[in-house]
């Protein structure tokens, strides 16, 4: 398929973080862009401000005439859209090019030098750091991010076409559509078992992804994972290794040992050892762009972060509010570790919105154990996303399993009052659902001391 012959691009599920980045890309290169999504969000409103037509009604009548020209229209859909979706069926049953988001991403990036970040955790932060490093050294690149970078204030960055930076998403085996030159695997924890069935199938899929790396390409692997590649880690003798680590003024200071050199006096400001590892592998990958390693290492100090990834919303005397996308037990553990390291001996309240009935069911005991570490736990109802309810799988069921006397299920409209009554030193909101839409309200409420 030749994207140059396409004039119009229609998205089914345009409001998704990955889909909206592609929509921005096609608008940027001069295509007509439109699409459907289930509900209006800040992301879809931003697309509308770019003169991208977004509608919220699943009907064939809502498709503009321009996008009914099969010869000149590309249709992009997300696997999260149900197969019975009427617009999806309309395009599928006619002579249209109908492709998954991952297929289109593969087509866009195949002629560039492609950096692909894979792993069940850390993809968005790592790709955002990598994009930041390339920007700071003046590299010509295009980046498709799975979150809103606080450095670029967007999920799509265009600085040229020589390099591309993408997330290699394991959901629905999407990453098997990419052709990376340099790739990394940050983690392979059990997840998306509604797709894979068990962790062995998930790991098999990662193996297939690694097999798609170009013959002269490179693979970075978190030390300890069962894959062959350049390893990275902290004080563990990895090929790319952080050494002499210390914390000063809320920032990490360290040296980086590579197979070729030691880069001393590196600084990174985002809390959490997991973020430090993300920074290390982003740096390692960026060295294959050919730019000076000292400049790339120095650029780590100016990385601002990603919205909803250990994002400080309020930081004042006696109170800190952190928002994070964590929706898997391993991610919750990482947030707890970061909070404990940066804010020791502070009373921490976590507000958690479980994401998906199936994920809650599959990892309920692990969720309970991870959440129990915090001083106090508040649960919201499960966010269903693409799923129908599963009998017996509820937040109340999860709460019963949390071994912590300070636990409570709360409705959204009573959340602020509950937080005020508990009066924590550190407030953390976590989840991949619509809890992120509450963050602005909570920030306004707690930004100043009462």
Instruction: List binding-site positions.
Output: 119-125
State whether the Cα torsion 189-195-200-201 is positive or negative: negative
Annotated binding site for ATP: 119-125
Helix (H) or strand (E) holding 210: helix 199-210
Nearest 5°: the CA angle 79, 80, 84 is 85
| SS3 state at 314 | strand
Helix (H) or strand (E) holding 429: strand 426-430
| SS3 state at 316 | strand
217 vs 155: CA distance, rounded Å: 26
Place of tokens 């062995």: 200
253 vs 56: CA distance, rounded Å: 48
222 vs 281: CA distance, rounded Å: 8
Please compute, for residue 165, the number of CA atoms within 13 A of its CA located in the half-sphere on the CB side: 32
Residue of 246, 260, 257 whose CA lies nearest to 280: 257
| Structure tokens, 416 | 């602020």
| Structure tokens, 285 | 């990958």
Which residues touch 138 (CB under 8 Å, ≥6 apart)?
291
Residue of 224, 244, 223 whose CA lies nearest to 232: 223
Place of tokens 């909803």: 308
- Region of residue 400 (phi > 0: left; psi between -120 and 50: alpha; otherwise: beta): alpha
Specify whether the CB–CB gap between 197 and 206 falls below 8 A: no
């Amino acid at each position: 398929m030749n994207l140059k012959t396409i004039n119009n691009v229609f998205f089914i599920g345009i409001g998704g973080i990955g889909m909206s980045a592609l929509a921005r890309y096609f608008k940027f290169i001069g295509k007509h862009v439109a699409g459907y999504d289930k509900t209006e969000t800040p992301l879809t409103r931003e697309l509308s401000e770019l003169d991208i037509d977004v509608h919220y009604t699943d009907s064939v009548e809502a498709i503009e005439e321009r996008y009914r020209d099969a010869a000149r229209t590309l249709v992009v859909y997300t696997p999260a859209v149900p197969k019975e979706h009427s617009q999806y069926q309309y395009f599928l049953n006619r002579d249209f090019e109908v492709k998954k988001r991952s297929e289109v991403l593969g087509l866009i990036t195949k002629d560039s030098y492609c950096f692909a970040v894979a792993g069940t955790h850390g993809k968005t932060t790592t790709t955002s750091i990598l994009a930041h490093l390339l920007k700071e050294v003046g590299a010509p690149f295009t980046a498709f991010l799975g979150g809103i970078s606080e450095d670029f204030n967007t999920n799509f960055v265009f600085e040229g076409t020589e390099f591309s930076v993408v997330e290699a998403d394991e959901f629905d085996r999407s990453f098997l559509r990419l052709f990376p030159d340099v790739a990394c695997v940050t983690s392979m924890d059990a997840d998306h078992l509604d797709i894979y069935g068990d962790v062995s199938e998930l790991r098999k899929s990662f193996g297939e992804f690694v097999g798609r790396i170009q013959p002269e390409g490179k693979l970075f692997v978190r030390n300890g994972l069962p894959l062959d590649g350049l390893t990275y880690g902290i004080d563990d003798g990895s090929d790319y290794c952080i050494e002499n680590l210390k914390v000063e003024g809320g920032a990490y200071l360290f040296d980086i040992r590579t197979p070729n050199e030691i880069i001393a006096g590196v600084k990174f400001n985002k809390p959490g050892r997991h973020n430090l590892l993300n920074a290390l592998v982003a740096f390692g990958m960026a060295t294959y762009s050919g730019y000076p390693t000292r400049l790339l290492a120095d650029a780590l100090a100016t990385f601002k972060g990603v919205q909803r990834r250990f994002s400080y919303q309020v930081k004042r005397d006696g109170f800190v509010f952190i928002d994070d996308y964590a929706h898997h037990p391993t991610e919750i553990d990482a947030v707890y570790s970061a909070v404990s390291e940066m804010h020791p001996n502070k009373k921490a309240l976590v507000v958690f919105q479980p994401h998906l009935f199936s994920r809650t069911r599959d990892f309920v005991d692990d969720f309970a154990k991870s959440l129990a570490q915090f001083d106090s736990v508040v649960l919201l109802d499960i966010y269903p996303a693409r799923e129908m309810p599963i009998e017996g799988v509820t937040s109340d069921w999860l709460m019963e399993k949390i071994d912590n006397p300070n636990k409570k299920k709360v409705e959204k409209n009573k959340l602020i009052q509950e937080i005020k009554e508990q009066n924590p030193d550190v407030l953390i909101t976590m989840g991949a659902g619509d809890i992120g839409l509450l963050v602005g309200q909570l920030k306004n409420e707690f930004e100043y001391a009462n």
